[in-house]
Amino acid sequence: MATSRLLSSRALPSLGPKPPLRLPQTRPPHRGRYHSTKHDTLRSLLKVSPEVADAVATNKPVVALESTIYTHGALGDDLLLEDIVRRHGAVPAVCGILDGVPSVGLGVSEVARMVSEGARKASRRDLAYVVGTGRTGPKLHAGTTIAGTMVLARLAGIRVFGTGGLGGVHQGGHNSLDISADLTELGRTRMAVVSAGCKGFLDIPRTLEFLETHGAMVSTFADGRKGDVDFPAFWARESGTKSPFVVQDESQAAAIILAQEQLGIESGMLFANPIPEEHAIPRAEMEEVIRVAVREADEKGFTGSRNTPYVLTRIRQLTKERSVTSNKYLVQANVARAAKVAVELSKLLDGSPASSDSSHTIQIPSQSTFVPEMKNEPVAAEKQPTHPVDVLVAGSVALDLACDYSGPHGQTAVSPALHTSNPASITQTVGGVGHNVALAAHYLSEEGRVRLCSLVGDDIAGSTILTSLAASGLDTSYIRRLGHEYPSTRTAQYVSVNDTHKSLVLAMADMAIFSQHSFPTFWASAVAASAPKWLVLDANWAAADMPAWLRAARQCGARVAYEPVSMEKAKRLFNRESQLGVWPKQSVDVATPNQGELGAMYEAAREGGFLEAGAWWEVVDGFGIHGGARERFVQVVGRGLADEGVAVQAMQLLPYVPTVCAKLGARGVLVAMVLGEGDWRLRDPEQARWIVARGGVGGESGGCI
């Protein structure tokens, strides 16, 4: 059982030794972020588009696309692959090298430049040459092959890649060693590649054997077929060679990808997607065409890198362009399936925060991890740190403008006039409830033991805030900056109009960025990586997001302090989705409302049925409150607070929030709390006057207020 007590603001007893008072000091800038030479070097090389970077950071589905299909393909520029990815709910990420810069998320105009100006073909071996040459000589363009795309996509944190046909072991490759780099890349780079198998003119059995030797998982989508199915042969649905594994659908594929990641296996996965039946060329017909094309290539000496182009050209001629049409449809089908797999994987990751790939994936922050970088600007999260902190504050940061009315010289009016311009002294500061709490804790903590998780926009106010926070030394690794692709992404701002005594006349607050954007996976990863002792949660987040924050805190064992912010926002804690635990398994440990916010929380709990739950009644009954409780409230807190209902409201909330610190302005602070069995204050005579009631055996265990 438990005992509770109410402490008045006029005689607040000591609850233990006080820490030494530490005043804010001038500190050197401290960013508290993870730094690594490898990461910084990569950041200077790899460009990730804002959309792709944001999608990776927030667990939106992303599909990598190669650029050689545009720069060196023969399918035209009307493939609409990016549109197909978007239609199926994912973000496309075309990879390539533009002006010597390896890029992920190339736009249509950028790809068009590569095509019109000429581009090399870049596999793994070519990447360093093309990028390095751009530092001292011409800045080259290069379309990335499957292997090259896998490298860049992996560096950017992408998990799924949709393409046409995989390279493989060429006929006679066991003697010539003519083996595509795509295969060795699958053996060393964890990426889920969706393709229509490998080109049908390759040695498919030896290709599969090579992939097995290098540890690459190979499976084929069943598409309703039962039992064993053939590994596809690009233009044909069957190859005569059984697939090593079979997957039934996209959700099973996603589960395999996640398992590979959680097991820490670094090799890739090939998900073969047979060409749609209506666009396939019959196997027997295709095999004869391939036989002729391959024989001619051998007779004419087309070997090595010259072999595949020649064979593809002859196949195109011999099939009277049917192979090209089939190729186009199979690529589109692969990309659509890759998007579906990415969507299913995103769902699994949302339900499994611990599966984030932070130990293996190098995230690129500048364009990225949380928005496009602005020149000479401190950017959030160069690398999301994983060292634990004492306090993680999840709340608002805002640009505050205080307008203090000065009045014309000699005028006696203390307040500004309405409907006209008034002379004023205007000051700009960084504020916001979350920021203020974090900064105060930062000044009282060891270096780097406090972290702020918040949102800002890609605007001047956001830049001002990030600059200020960097100067203060507060760890901003989890301040996420939203780009213009999001609606309502203005950095939060608060404007107050004050009279000549600096008392508030009117205030306006724009905090929509917090209530209109939800990133539960991002928040869960912030809490998990920070492993805080305390999560301080302010009520600026939308009501629907409260459960996500509380769930994340529970999963890492953090205690939770709730700052209600305002009367209206205070109610957000008590929403039906919160599933709040009750003492001693409470979801929230401390709340700090003012008197109005306390009343709002009480009304929200009452109207939401929280004060009728069986678990709530068990705790309240344990307090042992019976007749005459009001007189005891009067003795402890005074008749005024008792008559205003402050004590009763605090008591009614204690099962859900076992410590309530009600701020009463000039009257001080009223603290109500549940004391557990064995708490020293239950036995201390000096504390007896503050114990409102006791319950349980022997008068030392039980509860009341």
Domain coordinates of the chain in residue numbers? 1-18+539-705, 45-354, 389-530
Average pLDDT on 183-194 reads: 97
- Mean pLDDT over all residues of the chain? 83
Q: How many helices (H) and strands (E) does the chain have?
A: 25, 24
Q: What is the pLDDT of residues 430-455, one digit of tens each?
A: 999 999 999 999 888 766 689 999 99
Cα maximum dimension of the chain: 107
Q: Looking at per-residue confidence, does 523 or 120 come out higher?
A: 120
Axis-axis angle for helices 520-530, 322-350 (nearest 10)? 50
Average pLDDT on 630-654 reads: 79
Residue 703 to residue 370: CA distance in whole angstroms: 47
Residues designated as active site: 66, 199
Residue 565 CA, distance from chain mean position: 25
Residue 601 CA, distance from chain mean position: 30
pLDDT of residue 85: 94
Q: Show Cβ contacts of residue 64 under 8 Å, excluding neighbours closer than 6 positions.
A: 93, 95, 104, 149, 150, 152, 153, 158, 160, 161, 162, 191
pLDDT of 58 strictly over 70: yes
- Among 378, 479, 475, smallest CA distance to 33 is for 475
pLDDT of residue 119: 96
CATH number, domain 389-530, options 3.40.50.300, 3.40.1190.20, 3.40.50.1820, 3.40.50.720: 3.40.1190.20
Residue 572 to residue 574: CA distance in whole angstroms: 5
Lowest mean pLDDT among 86-90, 123-127, 470-474: 470-474
**What is the three-class DSSP state of 475?**
strand
Burial class (CB in 10 A: 0-12, 13-18, 19+), 426: exposed
Q: What is the pLDDT of residues 96-150, one digit of tens each?
A: 999 999 999 998 889 999 999 999 999 999 999 999 999 899 999 999 999 999 9
pLDDT of residue 488: 65
* Beta-strand pair 450-457/391-394: parallel
pLDDT of residue 28: 33
Residues written for the chain: 705
Structure tokens at 127: 């990447």
- Among 50, 53, 19, 29, smallest CA distance to 384 is for 53
pLDDT of residue 626: 59
Architecture of 45-354 per CATH? 3-Layer(aba) Sandwich (3.40)
pLDDT of 700 strictly over 60: no
pLDDT of residue 639: 78
Residue 176 phi, psi dihedral angles, 5° rounding: -85, -15
pTM: 0.50
* Beta-strand pair 192-195/160-162: parallel
